[in-house]
């Protein structure tokens, strides 16, 4: 027994000696040099800062340092080297080795906290029923409070009505004319929006050095290819936001699938099949609607200006040249004299005279009549951006419980051909420029940078874990039925972070589309899944458009009057007798060209040839 005790005691003593030797060795590691990465720094009152310190030898530990302040009323420092400023003045912070004489000092100049400078940031007001005002809710306050705390910048939200893209342009134009526009002015559409404003001298050039100094996180987040889309003739004019769903659209043409099922109609793939489906809707009335039936809804913008941008895709030739893409694909000035646009208008004329589209589309300037026909179950085809659905599909199902909706496939001119979609690359969303009257440019860039930081973007984009989103299978998922004050505005908070990215980036194109298109409580995932499938099917190809960052002077001069003239001419061409179409089209097209459109085409052609002359 005594022998066993003796062995145990010997082991304990040996262990004690070993640990003592180890600890003794640590304390005896002499620091020969202490160095800061800078010798002085300026801080505002109420801020904290931890200087970077390097010890020699590298095995030395920072807890061997003793930190002191020469003026504790100005700045104090804790045991780990974090400096906290108290009042204006100067203090020398010293880090000295606990053994030996090695030390280093950093001079801290503390200045009075500057008054926060105010910046005016636009926020889209989409008018969604039951939604909080975009400029006065939990998230608008959260962002403003955190930005003030983090970067000492005061945000004033400027509500911009967005009933539709034109409504937004009109709202900005009124503020620009009044001299009260926000510090950032931007839109999605190149020529009719931000390029037109650039041509009018609305923006100031962005100093690239300032951009890199005050917004390094933004520059890193967007990447060079996206940043460069904001340059015009080598000058940085815009602050582009990248788009996580480059080819896909949340704008969906929807069919009454229950009508199709009742009539035994398969999904149309050609224009003729689509026309015949509308004709069957009218003549056979599968919904028992009677005289109120509208096979396909249209409003004035959809039939004219907006329709001219993408509605002529099925009528374009398969071998469209890059020059034609550049000359006719932008939506600044409708291409009335272009053959594909003529064919589109002629197809609408055929539909109108057969009673297949809204008979009073020309009086429906805001889609309200078309929307009402759809909600009441009187329409066979309706188109809308799903995020802006605002409960219309739910209203349809409430009014017509048997109603079923399906997503339309892209249409082609004839059987056996492939549908074509056009897009710009790299894909960008909002393109904002800085108001020429803005004085606080650095603060605007600081805010863009703040929004680009992962921790801030994540908070604004996803909200609060366990309330607005959850982590499931390693992926974030929004919680659609959360009703608390922290709920995401319009289901996604997109309008708050769209300055840097167009839509929630959930890791895949499909997930991004679903989040963008499916607001809380209104789950239309099946529509978007079909849209995603159709756009990537063998029956559809994506073709890049040509965009040249140069203002077309003739477009600035003649663009607005031509748009007005186009609305008038397109409406007359749609409603005239089919026998009158060719004569009227030749007359209108000639006048349209002579009214400035030919000058636009000539300038665009010269611009294209100069740009690609190499």
Look at residue 565 and tell me if it is in a domain.
yes
Look at residue 516 and tell me if it is in a domain.
no
Look at residue 7 and tell me if it is in a domain.
no
Look at residue 491 and tell me if it is in a domain.
no
Same structural domain, 279 and 360: yes
Same structural domain, 135 and 235: yes
H or E segment and range at residue 229: none
| Residue 68, SS3 per DSSP | strand
The band of 387, judged by pLDDT with boundaries at 50, 70 and 90, is low
Q: How far are the Cα atoms of 8, 283, 352 from residue 294, in angstroms, in the given order?
A: 97, 11, 11
- Say what the pLDDT of residue 523 is: 60
The band of 391, judged by pLDDT with boundaries at 50, 70 and 90, is confident
- pLDDT tens digits along 248-306: 567 789 999 999 999 999 999 999 999 999 999 999 999 999 999 999 999 988 888 77
pTM equals 0.71
Same structural domain, 362 and 227: no
Q: Which domain holds residue 46?
A: 33-111
Look at residue 508 and tell me if it is in a domain.
no
Look at residue 394 and tell me if it is in a domain.
yes
Written as six digits, the tokens of 578 are 């089919």
At 147, which CATH number?
Answer: 3.40.190.10
Look at residue 46 and tell me if it is in a domain.
yes
| Average pLDDT value over all residues in the chain | 88
Among 96, 111, 126, identify where a domain stops: 111
- pLDDT tens digits along 453-495: 999 999 999 999 999 999 887 788 888 778 899 999 988 899 9
What gap in Å lies between CA 153 and CA 144, rounded to an integer?
A: 8
Among 53, 88, 111, identify where a domain stops: 111
- Say what the pLDDT of residue 479 is: 83
List b or e across 216-231, with b for residues whose CB sees 16 or more CB atoms inside 10 angstroms: ebbbebbeeebbebbe
Same structural domain, 322 and 403: yes
Look at residue 507 and tell me if it is in a domain.
no
Q: In terms of DSSP H, where are the helices of 264-410?
A: 271-284, 300-303, 305-310, 322-328, 339-353, 368-375, 392-399
Same structural domain, 289 and 396: yes
Same structural domain, 196 and 310: no
Highest mean pLDDT among 111-115, 191-195, 216-220, 324-328: 216-220
Same structural domain, 83 and 123: no
Nearest to 410 by CA among 603, 273, 238: 273
Same structural domain, 46 and 190: no
Same structural domain, 293 and 411: yes
What's the half-sphere exposure (Cβ side, CA atoms, 13 Å) at 237?
Answer: 22
Mean pLDDT, rounded, for 47-55: 91
Same structural domain, 215 and 262: no
DSSP state at residue 593: I
Check if the beta carbon of residue 221 is closer than 8 Å to that of residue 500.
Answer: yes
Asked if the model's pLDDT at residue 10 lies above 60, the reply is no
- Say what the pLDDT of residue 390 is: 62
Nearest to 255 by CA among 351, 391, 390, 374: 374
Q: Could you tell me what percentage of the chain is helix, strand and coil, using 3-state DSSP and rounding each to the nearest 5?
A: 45, 20, 35
Enumerate residues 6+ apart whose C-beta is below 8 A from 495. 123, 124, 126, 134, 489
Among 111, 127, 144, identify where a domain stops: 111
The band of 23, judged by pLDDT with boundaries at 50, 70 and 90, is very low
At 103, which CATH number?
Answer: 2.60.40.1080
Asked if the model's pLDDT at residue 118 lies above 80, the reply is yes
**Count of structural domains within the chain:** 3
Same structural domain, 143 and 207: yes
Same structural domain, 106 and 166: no
């Amino acid at each position: 027994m005594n022998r066993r005790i003796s062995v145990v005691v010997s082991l304990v003593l040996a262990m004690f000696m070993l640990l003592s030797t180890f600890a003794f060795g640590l304390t005896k590691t002499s620091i020969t040099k202490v160095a800061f990465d800078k010798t002085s720094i300026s801080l505002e009152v109420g801020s904290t800062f931890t200087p970077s310190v390097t010890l020699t030898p590298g095995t030395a530990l920072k807890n061997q340092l003793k930190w002191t302040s020469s003026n504790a009323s100005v700045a104090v420092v804790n045991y780990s080297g974090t400096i906290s400023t108290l009042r204006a003045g100067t203090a020398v912070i010293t880090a000295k080795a606990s053994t030996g004489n090695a030390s280093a000092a950093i001079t801290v100049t503390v200045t009075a906290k500057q008054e926060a400078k105010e910046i005016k940031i636009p926020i889209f007001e989409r008018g969604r029923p039951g939604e909080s005002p975009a400029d006065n809710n939990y998230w608008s306050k959260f962002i403003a409070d955190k930005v003030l705390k983090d970067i000492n910048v005061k945000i004033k939200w400027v509500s911009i009505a967005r009933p539709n893209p034109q409504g937004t342009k009109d709202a900005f134009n009124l503020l620009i004319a009044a001299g009260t526009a926000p510090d950032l002015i931007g839109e999605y559409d190149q020529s009719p929006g931000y390029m037109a404003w650039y041509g009018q001298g609305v923006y100031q050039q962005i100093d690239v050095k300032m951009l890199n100094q005050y917004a390094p996180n933004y520059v890193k987040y967007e990447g060079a290819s996206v940043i460069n889309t904001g340059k015009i003739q080598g000058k940085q004019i815009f602050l582009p936001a990248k788009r996580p769903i480059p080819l896909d659209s949340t704008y969906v043409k929807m069919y009454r699938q229950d009508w199709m099922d009742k009539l035994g109609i398969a999904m149309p793939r050609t224009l003729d099949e689509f026309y015949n489906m509308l004709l069957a809707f009218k003549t056979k009335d599968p919904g028992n609607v009677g005289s109120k039936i509208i096979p396909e809804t249209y409003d004035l913008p959809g039939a004219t200006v907006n329709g001219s941008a993408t509605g002529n895709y099925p009528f374009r030739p398969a071998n469209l040249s890059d020059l034609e893409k550049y000359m006719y694909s932008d939506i600044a000035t409708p291409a009335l004299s272009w053959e594909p646009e003529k064919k589109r208008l002629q197809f609408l004329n055929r539909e109108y005279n057969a009673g297949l589209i809204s008979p009073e589309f020309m009086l429906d300037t805001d889609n309200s009549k078309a929307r009402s026909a759809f909600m009441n179950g009187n329409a066979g085809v309706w188109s809308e951006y799903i995020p802006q659905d605002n409960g219309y599909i739910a209203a349809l199902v409430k009014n017509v419980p048997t109603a079923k909706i399906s997503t339309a496939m892209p249409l082609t001119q004839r059987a056996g051909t492939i549908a074509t979609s056009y897009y710009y690359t790299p894909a960008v969303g909002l393109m904002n420029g800085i108001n020429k009257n803005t004085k606080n440019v650095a603060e605007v860039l600081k805010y863009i940078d703040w929004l680009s930081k992962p921790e801030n973007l994540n908070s604004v984009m996803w909200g609060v874990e366990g309330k607005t989103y959850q982590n499931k299978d390693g992926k974030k998922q929004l919680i659609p039925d959360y009703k608390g004050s922290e709920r995401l505005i319009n289901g996604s908070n997109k309008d708050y972070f769209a300055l840097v990215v167009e839509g929630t980036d959930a890791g895949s194109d499909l997930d991004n589309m679903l989040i963008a298109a499916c607001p809380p409580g209104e789950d239309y995932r099946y529509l978007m899944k079909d849209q995603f499938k159709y756009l990537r099917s063998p029956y559809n190809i994506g073709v890049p458009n040509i965009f040249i960052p140069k203002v077309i002077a003739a477009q600035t001069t003649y663009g607005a009057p031509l748009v007005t003239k186009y609305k008038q001419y397109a409406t007359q061409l749609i409603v005239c007798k089919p026998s009158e179409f060719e004569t009227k089209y030749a007359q209108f097209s000639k006048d349209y060209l002579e009214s400035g459109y030919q000058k636009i085409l000539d300038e665009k052609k010269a611009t294209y040839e100069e740009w690609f002359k190499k």
